[in-house]
């Protein structure tokens, strides 16, 4: 059916959810709903949820809770909980959010339109948490940027869904299902369309991109990178996430040899303690991780490295935590994402003994972040005086102090380096999607400042 009205989409969670929300927007668009940023104006509101940590889950419930007031005033408003919490909770979602109309699991997107029709014709409380082997292939194309207010130069493309690794702390295998990969043809087609619409940078998404295509007997991930490297007008290729246990030499060679693949790797280590890594079921040791990093540094000099870390996993002692701190000293990551362990009832670690108290987790997290700040600053400072290639993303939202007084006709623009660092610079004649050379003059904890070469 075709309707008219406005759709408001609120996204919580990882990059995959951002990609999924684009798909949801395009489905709603094909049903006649226009996207709005004004919640009050909406005829349908979708909360695309995340359950990776308790906090993310609470954010979803509190957002949807706010809608009960609007729903009372406007009973025809359709409310949708989509994504990972929806998949996890199913029918139970109505206990906390009684006014919900649709609970749309992570694999139910192709049936979304059908569920809207059902609600429009009077059906109450639709729940769809069924599995689907194929998820994205049948959904509308989003390459024309119509799901955004403005064009974007950098976009995500999910190449595989689900996860079979079962790390003991993690809900993903339970909320995203078994691992399955899209076909290379389908992926290349989508990226070519994106390139035709002005996109210059692609980030390929999967929970463990190293095992791309293995189950399906398709080409390997490094081979897929090779194919994407040939797509005209794509300047940069990034990907996340690599699992250290499956990082192959072929992938390292691909990073080294394929000109568009950025010299940056996100390689989540989670802990520096072998005891904890074992309990997490990560499938590698601290030593193996360090060896992998040294292979990478050897083959890809100057490679930027980032990681994810969990502190306060059940039974983590001060000594285990120190092993993680020492790993940060040893590797010197460019940046880290660190989290306090959060108990997820569907994941095995929830039943582990020796849970760490919240105060201790917070203390460890603060110590870790403080240490990393030192290295992030150090890495950023090392770039002063160097020239970096920047992909221009647009105008800076926040201006540098004093910029207005000194800039004349210049605009403050922003972009990213190959190593994924945010770089601000003044210019009057660059466009989004341009690649330009910037000489770095100043370094801050989270960004760099410089001038275009020749300026």
Does 84 help bind ligand F3S (rule: CB under 6 A)?
Answer: yes
Question: Of 326, 320, 321, 329, nearest to 365 (Cα)?
Answer: 321
Residue 145 sits at φ, ψ, to 5 deg, of 70, 5
- Least distance (Å) between residue 14 CB and ligand F3S: 3
CB of 105 closer than 8 Å to CB of 129? yes
DSSP string, 386-438: -EEEEEEEEE-SSPPTTHHHH-TT-EEEEEEETT--EEEEEESS--TT-EEEE
Q: Per CB under 6 A, which region of 172-180, 209-217, 249-257, 413-421 contacts ligand F3S?
A: 172-180
Among the listed residues 78, 172, 262, 392, the single contact to ligand SF4 using CB under 6 A: 172
Q: Which two three-digit tokens encode residue 207? A: 């929970």
User: What is the dihedral sign for C-alpha 423, 424, 427, 432?
Assistant: positive
Q: 186-245: which residues touch ligand SF4 (CB under 6 A)? A: 207-208, 243
For the CA atoms of 207, 50, 106, 103, the dihedral, rounded to the nearest 10 degrees, stands at 170
Q: 268-307: which residues touch ligand SAH (CB under 6 A)? A: 268, 270
Question: Of 155, 100, 154, 109, nearest to 131 (Cα)?
Answer: 109
Q: Per CB under 6 A, which region of 125-133, 168-176, 279-287, 380-388 contacts ligand F3S?
A: 168-176
Rg (CA), the chain: 23
- Least distance (Å) between residue 349 CB and ligand F3S: 15
User: Which of ligand F3S, ligand SAH, ligand SF4, none does residue 166 bind to, with CB < 5 to 8 Å depending on kind?
Assistant: ligand SF4
Among the listed residues 28, 100, 139, 170, the single contact to ligand SF4 using CB under 6 A: 170
DSSP string, 104-125: E-TT-GGGHHHHHHHHHTT---
The C-alpha atoms of residue 99 and residue 313 are separated, in whole angstroms, by: 36
The C-alpha atoms of residue 303 and residue 242 are separated, in whole angstroms, by: 15
Edge-first strand listing for the sheet containing 304-311 = 264-266, 304-311, 335-340
Q: Per CB under 6 A, which region of 61-69, 160-168, 182-190, 222-230 contacts ligand SF4?
A: 160-168
- Least distance (Å) between residue 326 CB and ligand SAH: 18
User: Which of ligand SAH, ligand SF4, ligand F3S, none does residue 50 bind to, with CB < 5 to 8 Å depending on kind?
Assistant: ligand F3S
Q: Per CB under 6 A, which region of 34-42, 122-130, 339-347, 433-441 contacts ligand SAH?
A: 339-347
Between 208 and 419, name the residue whose CB sits nearer to ligand SF4.
Answer: 208
Does 432 help bind ligand F3S (rule: CB under 6 A)?
Answer: no
Edge-first strand listing for the sheet containing 201-205 = 154-158, 201-205, 236-240
Between 236 and 238, name the residue whose CB sits nearer to ligand SF4.
Answer: 238
Q: 296-325: which residues touch ligand F3S (CB under 6 A)? A: none
Does 84 help bind ligand SAH (rule: CB under 6 A)?
Answer: no
Residue numbers of the site for ligand SAH (CB under 6 A)?
52-53, 169-170, 172, 207-208, 241, 243, 268, 270, 308, 310, 339, 341-342, 344
Residue numbers of the site for ligand SF4 (CB under 6 A)?
163, 165-167, 170, 172-173, 207-208, 243
């Amino acid at each position: 059916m075709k309707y008219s009205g406005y759709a408001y989409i609120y996204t919580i969670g990882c990059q995959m959810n951002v990609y999924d929300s684009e798909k949801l927007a395009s489905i709603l668009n094909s049903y006649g709903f226009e996207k709005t940023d004004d919640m009050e104006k909406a005829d349908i509101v979708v909360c695309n949820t995340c359950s990776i940590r308790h906090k993310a889950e609470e954010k979803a419930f509190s957002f949807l809770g706010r809608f009960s007031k609007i729903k009372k005033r406007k009973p025809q408003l359709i409310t949708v909980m989509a994504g990972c919490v929806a998949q996890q909770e199913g029918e139970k979602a109505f206990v906390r959010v009684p006014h919900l109309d649709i609970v749309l699991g992570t694999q139910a997107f192709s049936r979304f339109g059908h569920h809207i029709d059902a609600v429009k014709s009077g059906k109450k409380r639709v729940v769809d948490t069924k599995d689907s082997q194929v998820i994205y292939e049948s959904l509308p194309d989003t390459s024309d940027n119509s799901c955004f207010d403005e064009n974007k130069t950098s976009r995500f493309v999910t190449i595989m869904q689900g996860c079979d690794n079962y790390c003991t702390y993690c809900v993903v295998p339970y909320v995203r299902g078994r691992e399955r990969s899209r076909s290379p043809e389908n992926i290349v087609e989508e990226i070519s369309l994106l390139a035709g619409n002005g996109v210059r940078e692609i980030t390929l998404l999967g929970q463990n991109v190293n095992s791309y295509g293995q189950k399906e007997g398709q080409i390997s991930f490094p081979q897929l990178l090779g194919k994407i490297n040939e797509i005209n007008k794509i300047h940069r290729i990034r990907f996340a996430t690599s699992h250290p246990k499956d990082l192959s030499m072929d992938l390292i060679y691909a990073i080294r040899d394929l000109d568009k693949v950025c010299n940056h790797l996100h390689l989540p280590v989670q802990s520096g303690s072998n005891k904890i890594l074992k309990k997490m079921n990560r499938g590698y040791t601290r030593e193996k991780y360090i060896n992998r990093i040294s292979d990478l540094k050897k083959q890809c000099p100057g490679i930027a490295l980032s990681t994810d870390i969990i502190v306060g996993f059940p039974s983590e002692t001060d000594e285990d935590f120190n092993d993680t701190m020492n790993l940060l000293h040893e590797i010197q990551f460019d940046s880290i994402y660190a989290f306090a362990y959060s108990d997820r009832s569907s994941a095995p670690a929830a039943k582990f003994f020796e849970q760490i108290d919240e105060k201790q987790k917070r203390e460890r997290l603060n110590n870790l972040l403080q240490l990393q700040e030192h290295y992030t600053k150090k890495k950023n400072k090392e770039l002063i005086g160097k020239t970096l290639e920047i992909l221009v993303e647009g105008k800076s939202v926040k201006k540098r102090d004093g910029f207005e007084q000194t800039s004349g006709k210049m605009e403050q623009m922003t972009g990213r380096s190959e190593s994924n660092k945010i770089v601000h610079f003044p210019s009057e004649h660059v466009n989004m999607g341009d690649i330009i050379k910037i000489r770095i003059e100043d370094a801050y904890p989270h960004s760099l400042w410089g001038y275009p070469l020749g300026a």
